[in-house]
Amino acid sequence: MSEPALYDEKIELLIDGEWCQGSTGESEVLENPATGEALGTVPHASDADLARALAAAQKGFRVWKALTAQARYTLMMKAADLIEARKDRIGRLLTLENGKPLGEAVPEVQFAADVTRWYAEEGKRAYGRIVPARMANVRQIVLKEPVGPVVAFAAWNFPSSNVIRKIAGALGAGCSVIMKPAEETPGTAVAIARCFQEAGLPAGVLNLVFGVPARVSQVLLASPIPKAVTLTGSTAVGKELQRLASATLKRCTMELGGHAPVIVHGDADLELAARTLATFKFRNAGQVCTSPTRFFIHESVYAAFTGRFVELAAALKIGNGLEAGTQMGPMIARRRLAAMEELVRDAVEKGAQLKLGGTRIGNQGHFFAPTVLADVPADAAIMSTEPFGPIASLTPFAGFDEVIERANALPYGLASFVFTRSGALAQRTEEALDAGLVGVNHMAVSTPETPFGGVNESGYGSESGIEGLDAFLRTKFVSELAAL
């Protein structure tokens, strides 16, 4: 049997059930971040293409909404089966365009199948209720109905997870979608969309477009057709999309950036904490919105934890995600290497100790060494700027009130993590942390059935869980007087 093509997905737009290239002929090169080689080209949608996508979504919404929840369930389950059957191939595409190891990419595609099944099931439970009336012969009904066509924007760091939580959530609620995945990682989204098309999704229910993000968002959000917008991206982009959406009062779900604190109390299981945090800090080269970034370690265990954490980080195998045994791949783009170097330089100038890494690796691809900074002062840029890269910043703390104040000092509030053996201390810390997600003694804060979202400048609204379905539903109240 011959080897499969290195990158065998044709990148196309999906508009009104048809795969096509952009009508302008404009495109950009898709690069493999591990090698710098070109994988293909990404077509850009013209304003005319976007107008067709808007019209298609409006038409598709009427068709999709009219189907029963059971009919939508059946089709979505077929799509989930196709995604699962193709997870190895799609995972390979994901690794080629994103860089993460296959051991992370394939489970991420399986997550897409799991999320699709969850929303297919949950769509059958978009319950309303009967409210007892104050008058005789009156029936009061609260109904849940799909909000309308949805515009969705997804970041490149999780090309499968970010895309599917928006597509499947909208479809499960009965909405149509115009999806704009990241141009850095288009193939994963295209491959997933093909699964929905082959499962029999009606034309216009799912549309896929690429292009210059600012231009695409301006055109799509200026239209009155979409009734909701959902984004996974930076806080700055979230604020801009919210501004654009305000002109037509579109509902927004914003899953934005973070700067996750992790608190290791003095009674913590240090081996568990060090191993867990070394694994998750450098997952996807630290390009994770929930990645632990600000490490607050109790002074009584600070030296022991730091030594063990550095040891584990130094042992990580760095390389091409397609190679067996790779534990950390490249960063998404060359510009990110300079950003990492600047954060390290600034921290060291202000008194931090560079315990590990701090430099680029090799001259091919976009690799940056796992980096550990110790005794990082509060005024270092990395303590207020999310690194979104493989840098861990460690600092000791003495008391509970002090560490909570430092953990909550930023305007962000997505993920946070706690390590302790004490149930009482865990609960006290959970309640004090100003964050939408809290992991205690582990990092699993994202599953299909649990809500995922932040607070403050990390956004609002939730994806996944019943809250994720509700984001795509609106409430209608009916008060009905029986005919006499």
Query: Are residues 294 and 439 located together in one domain of the fold?
Result: yes
Model pLDDT for residues 70-90, shown as the tens digit of each residue: 999 999 999 999 999 999 999
Give yes or no: 289 in active site. Answer: yes
Catalytic residue among 289, 386, 457, 463: 289
Neighbours of 410 (CB within 10 A): 19
Write out the H or E segment, with its range, that includes residue 264: strand 260-264
What's residue 2's pLDDT?
36
What's residue 6's pLDDT?
83
Model pLDDT for residues 108-153, shown as the tens digit of each residue: 999 999 999 999 999 999 999 999 999 999 999 999 999 999 999 9
5 pLDDT higher than 70: no
What span, in angstroms and rounded, lies between the C-alpha atoms of 358 and 370? 7
| 229-245: b (≥16 Cβ within 10 Å) or e | bbbbbebebbebbbebb
Model pLDDT for residues 400-451, shown as the tens digit of each residue: 999 999 999 999 999 999 999 999 999 999 999 999 999 999 999 999 999 9
Model pLDDT for residues 243-263, shown as the tens digit of each residue: 999 999 999 999 999 999 999
What is the domain extent for residue 200? 13-256+458-477
Q: Helices marked H in 68-137 — which ranges?
A: 69-85, 87-98, 102-122
Residues 6+ apart with CB under 8 A from 444: none
Residue 362 lies in a domain: yes
Q: 393 and 347 in contact (C-beta within 8 Å)?
A: yes
Query: Are residues 202 and 349 located together in one domain of the fold?
Result: no
The mean per-residue pLDDT over the stretch 156-177 comes to 98
1 pLDDT higher than 60: no
Type of residue found at 17: G
Catalytic residue among 9, 97, 255, 457: 255
- Residue 473: phi and psi, rounded to 5, are -120, 150
Q: What is the CATH number of the domain that holds 340?
A: 3.40.309.10
Residues 6+ apart with CB under 8 A from 160: 90, 94, 105, 108, 109, 111, 112, 188, 192
Candidates 152, 199, 189, 198; CA nearest to 173 is 152
Query: Are residues 301 and 199 located together in one domain of the fold?
Result: no
- Residue 106: phi and psi, rounded to 5, are -65, -45
Structural domain total, the chain: 2
Residue 382 lies in a domain: yes
What's residue 207's pLDDT?
98
Q: What is the number of alpha carbons within 13 Å of residue 289 lying toward its C-beta?
A: 31
Give long-range contacts, CB 8 A cutoff, 24+ apart: 192-198.
192/83, 192/90, 192/112, 192/160, 192/163, 192/164, 192/167, 193/14, 193/167, 195/79, 195/82, 195/83, 195/86, 196/76, 196/79, 196/167, 196/171, 197/14, 197/17, 198/79, 198/82
Query: Are residues 436 and 303 located together in one domain of the fold?
Result: yes
Query: Are residues 394 and 249 located together in one domain of the fold?
Result: no
Give yes or no: 84 in active site. Answer: no
The mean per-residue pLDDT over the stretch 347-369 comes to 97
Q: What is the CATH number of the domain that holds 107?
A: 3.40.605.10
What span, in angstroms and rounded, lies between the C-alpha atoms of 244 and 255? 16
Query: Are residues 249 and 265 located together in one domain of the fold?
Result: no
Query: Are residues 217 and 234 located together in one domain of the fold?
Result: yes
pTM score: 0.95
